[in-house]
A and B are shown apart, each in its own frame.
Chain A
Amino acid sequence: MADSDGRQVDSINHSTGKICKELTKEEKQRLRKEKKQHKKNKKDDRGPPEKEKEKEKASVLAPSKPATQSPAHKAAPVPVNASASESPVAAEKPAKSKAEQRAERRARQDTERASKQGKKEGGQQSASSKPKATPNELQPVVKRLPEHIQVDDPAALKKLAKKLERQQVRQINIVPLRSDYGYKVSLFSHLHQYSRKNPPTQQISIPATVIHPSIVRLGLQYSQGIIAGSNARSVALLHAFKQVIQDYSTPPNEELSRDLVNKLSPYISFLSQCRPLSASMGNAIKHIKKEISNIPSQCKEEEAKRRLQECIDSYINEKIILASEAISKYAIEKISDGDVILVYGCSSLVNHILCEAFEKQRKFRVIVVDSRPRLEGREALRRLVKKGIRCTYVLISALSYILPEVSKVFLGAHALLANGYVMSRVGTSQIALVAKAYNVPVLVCCETYKFCERVQTDSFVSNELDDPDDLIVTRNGKTHLENWQTVKSLGLLNLVYDVTPPDFVDLVITDLGMIPCTSVPVVLRVKNVDQ
């Protein structure tokens, strides 16, 4: 390498034209070595920062060598290796046109590199060596895509398999990878499609003591649809976590705040294999993890556990129970005597509002709209009829017939996205659309803990596919779709969620008040500042 360095030094003293020739020779020699290194490093490096880093490395390739001899010696070939394939092309261009800028950058990066000698791979170096924006600037946009919408990407699937492998204990894979079922419609090949007949616990080996039994039970309840509905799932999750924390004991030489978080990760992977996590569950998990990591290290174990349990209880109380009380209070102002209210499916919050309004002696009647294949509206119907509310029941295809009678529409939400779209049970957007056509006001009721920072414009990119066998029905003794698997060109699509554009929604009632759909990012910002 000293030889090449010498030659490099000579080459710099010549004119820029000659530098090109010298560089290309050098590059060819190094390319072979770099390529081998690059293949090793490729796996650990990220995409976009990789390329930016390569370009920068390439541009400072020549001057970096002579400037820092021994300490940077080791560091220099490494970033050079990492930027193998792009460096020849990238190097020539900056070498030709930016000689002056190179000198400046060289000085800057020398100092940076000198401080980073001990660090390992080029990837990490490059990430920090990028010229940093001012700390007050917004977070970088590039986030990692969630795994559950990358089913059609074999690289992502491999990553997930590796991640689940890493979570194994005693060489046993605790969280098995669940396989997809049936023919998936091509538009949705990036999503999982599981069958209820293949529960995720089939491949779990005994001893399954590595996953807490309450988590296993919870996962099965999710996958079979026994626990459904955003609030119910979150509350069940939090109760299961309480149980886990109760039974947890810190191993020696470990801190509770770090170890407990690590313990929870395989549980969360298992639950997401049973059924993709909802936005409310995601927020709850984030909150818990934050609380756990905030536990001071000198806290005794019993004290820490008690604190965590209290924290979970207060979360449930504040965010779910008290929130629904507050929302009911606001919503009841909107219900007047003689109203005909349309609800869709079974939303615990909307049912609560209607029951409260009925207790406060408001005179109204309810129309429950339901849809196949879940038929959740029947559950809502039972609850409302038990209270004594006058109800009518139709299927969603009869919507145009029933809407002229309706004065208001109350909808529940699964999540509220940052661009104002409402993610809710499939069919909600249809109801909002037809209500808009008939000029009926649409009110969405949603607690603030369901607000999430994702953005989405259509129902395809991030959704959930339910068991396609649910669509099969037997009428008059005939089941037309019985053997749909054998028919080559037939697919069944059972979507779970859809997104409603904000122009269909007139008002969102939250525990912070009544806001328009587009104010969701404001609420998120306020919440982040609070925390």
Chain B
Amino acid sequence: RLHSLHVLSDRFQETLARNQRFTETPVKMPGADKETDLSERIESFLSELKRCGRGAGSLRDSAETARETTALLRRITAQARWGNAGELMEIIRKEGRRMTAAQPSETTVGNMVRRVLKIIREEYARSRGSSEETDQQESLHKLLTSGGSSEDNFRQHFAHLKANVIEAINELLTELEGTTDNISMQALEHIHSNEVIMTIGRSRTVEAFLKDAARKRKFHVIVAECAPFCQGHEMATSLCKEDIETTVIPDAAIFAVMSRVNKVIIGTQTVLANGGLRAVNGTHTLALAAKHHSTPLIVCAPMFKLSPQFPNEEDTFHKFVSPHEVLPFTEGEILSKVNAHCPVFDYVPPELITLFISNIGGNAPSYIYRLMSELYHPEDHELYTGK
């Protein structure tokens, strides 16, 4: 542990000293420089993740996190020692578990790990020449007749597997870089002129989406400021730079102005497996108000935000930050007698959502389960019980 400490910057040192829950044991790869370098990078990434969870106001750009995770996984593939696909998957799963444990609310990390695992499976299957990739567990018949499961086959060694996997991960990285542009390109299909569009908080995807539409169309945007972090203010000033007519409203006025809104376009932190959302707090109210006025609710979310989680797990669902944001310490004597809550996320059920716009096009919420089965292998859904 000491070895990795002295290469980290002072900032991280502070956090580590303060952080009592640093229970993970660092990966001990004795010997080669390459491996200590790798473990250092993993450590620094983990610390970054832990640090960013402190205040939701500084939510890291999910796209950045996804890119960094994928780059790190590529590095692990390139530098770690493994003989066959099974070992590689084991290593990646282990690292993946540590990364998701560092920041459970940052689901893009887990999503990328699962994507890479699926890539490995596919490349392995392609190297073997088998055609099993397409149907995984489509029918009971296949389950019964296929006999032995495919896991034992991962023991085979292929010379070009490493190169293939790295190439596939590079493709994934290129896809990640183009997501925002892909989504913005669809903007003109959904926004007509003289519309009033409502949004909440700050989403970089929605920002790019609206700015792209503003190049050709004139419309008006209402931004709900989303207390207590008031990220809506940043969004409004950024939109104004492109000469978009923007109005900032407090959260309490969402229902009051909803009758004049034509569309609601929001971003989200995660898209859950049933088509629901885990988005910034206040989004559920916005969705209910839109439903009441029959206003379409459009969610702009790139594919890497799609997570195989279902919303039934109460304990993994909510994240809270310091109630100081809600009831500051200046309130003095009543603080000790009052419970104050400051949840960060809201769950929005899929019935309230009209459309998902992602880098592969527009989809209804009822189709999300299908997209998920294309992106992730069902055995990877639970990183904790994987083999």
Contacts and interface: CB of A to CB of B under 8 A. Distances in A.
A462 interface: no
Interface string B232-256: 0110110010011111111111111
Contact of B233 (A378, A429, A458, A480): A480
A391 B339 contact: yes
A427 B251 CA distance: 8
Nearest to A458: B259
Interface in B240-288: 240, 243-257, 259-260, 281-282, 284-285, 288
Contact of B288 (A372, A392, A437): A437
A483 to B, nearest CB: 9
B338 interface: yes
Interface in B150-181: none
Interface string A376-395: 00100110010000111111
Contact of B326 (A395, A426, A434): A395
A139 interface: no
Contacts of B327: 378, 393
Given A395-B228, A397-B226, A401-B341, A429 B260 contact: no
A426 B253 contact: yes
Contacts of B251: 371-372, 395-397, 427
B343 interface: yes
Interface string A457-499: 0111000000000010101100011000001111111110011
B209 interface: no
A430 B340 contact: no
Residue among A394, A430, A473 with max Cβ neighbours from chain B (10 Å): A430
Contact of B341 (A392, A427, A434, A493): A392
Interface in B196-237: 222, 225-230, 233-234, 236-237
B256 A426 contact: yes
Nearest to A498: B256
A433 interface: yes
Contacts of A490: 236-237, 240, 246-248
A258 B254 CA distance: 47
Interface in A391-450: 391-402, 425-427, 429-430, 433-434, 437
Range of interface residues on A (Cβ < 8 Å):
35 or more
Nearest to B220: A186
Contacts of B341: 392-394, 398, 401-402
Contact of A433 (B234, B246, B247, B292): B292
Contacts of B237: 480-481, 487, 490
Residue among B226, B253, B331 with max Cβ neighbours from chain A (10 Å): B253
B285 A399 contact: yes
Given A381-B338, A385-B334, A402-B341, A426 B284 contact: no
Residue among B237, B254, B255, B341 with max Cβ neighbours from chain A (10 Å): B255
B126 interface: no
A373 interface: yes
A372 B284 contact: no
B348 to A, nearest CB: 9
Interface of B: 57, 222, 225-230, 233-234, 236-237, 240, 243-257, 259-260, 281-282, 284-285, 288-289, 292, 318, 326-327, 331, 334, 337-343, 346-347
Given A491-B248, A494-B250, 6 more contacts: A394-B326, A397-B227, A430-B256, A430-B289, A459-B256, A460-B260
